[in-house]
Structure 1
């Protein structure tokens, strides 16, 4: 069994914090979006996340498809328009073929190491980012806030805590997602065809050619039914689908099962996430992204009840936080 440790290290030539605890190891890159890029069982050789260690140049170009990137504000905004409390903010068009803003700013922005260390049973790291009038993000997203992200590693797997504080004097849009990239297979020698995925989805949103919701829901398809029941092969078709959340047994989660090894990876996220995205790189075996998302894609531009689409803000001084966990059962 490995020691319980938290220490500065390098990963792919970049500064990192490495956590170890028992079977497990995790690595975070604070300077690259606070992205936790590795979570492994070092005894069995299982790698649960898509790692960029040998593809660092590709990672720097496309950081959203490795590890656990923080999207804030998440996903797409039509023509870069972000209407909020009587003003419309102009976000950069970084998806030119669809003329959208995509994925926000924090997954490409350096975070600060706030703390790392160990307890009797766990190792942990906390990173943070504070956006104020001097921060580069403020020019496009003129809100003042602090975000903290803590990962804890122990015998029960990896836990995550996210914390957002409104430091400013106007209401802060609290729109967040994680573009979590899960390996399938995560067991060496296994085949992607052995895997089935379950997701606590409700209804599927209809999307237009720009991958923006129309506001309508689609009839339940065989794919939707299989996803709910846990019998969907994650690469059976091209998946780039957006769903409402429908918690089961009080929990909101993804379960990925290796049907040959009879092992299930659980990604249990909080019920503050009202939407799921699922993306599988055009059906290419290797990794897919079950993305817990607070809000509907393009939510500020959609005329539906705010509660239904997860569109909410934090008043001055308010805090929002949520937790998630990844573990094996």
Structure 2
């Protein structure tokens, strides 16, 4: 997948976000030239600052809702479209902007890929499946969401982005792929995204007790960011259109997550139980049969190893701020 015999060129929209910045790193490590397009509404310049002196990396501060890629130099081999609000604190704050990003932003990203004859990879979400059930979510299951629900703008925006991507494939023969990303964590993750793991890490960094809601038997499915990025790369290299689930099929209890973070944080870390919220999130986990068979992909990082690397990164970040 190389344009005109030169090094392959990847465009990553939302490349200054948590997942996008790690994708930029991995693409550069694999020999790509990378252009990151981000308006920094939810992405952070700090996430890609370590690439400032990388000659194969270019950062464009652009609003994808109006950006058409006229200033992109040379051919483009693949467009990874990750530009979308992903945290509830973002997409609930401005649901109109959320839907505009999924419509105008995705349309412009698709037009860019079409104009450059590039493969297009959409980073969608497991939220398109609707409420989680007891069984793992499979790609052939029809999702059920309520568009009038408070989260409806986010759910429907991602479903629309998938429909638009599929339409470009059928109408223009654009080489597209759809990844449905499940819960992902790791260095550079947002600690204000409302997830229980984010709260545990924030509490551990502050030296505060880790608060486990209810009995702690609730489960979560956690995929380390390096594994999620490997799934996106595999999808970008292949010809499978998706959708394909990218996430961990293994579940771990909330109490186990808290205990593991506490053990990594040190002997003074404490775990306490608090009243559960009125409505708790039921674990959504993926069936990754398709990813395993078609992409030869599955998560490789254990929860303990991933949490150890994540907490160490945040501890170093705090130390740098204090120095």
Relative to the length of structure 1, the TM-score reads 0.30
If each structure's helix is expressed as a fraction of its own residues, which one has the higher value?
Answer: 2
If each structure's strand is expressed as a fraction of its own residues, which one has the higher value?
Answer: 1
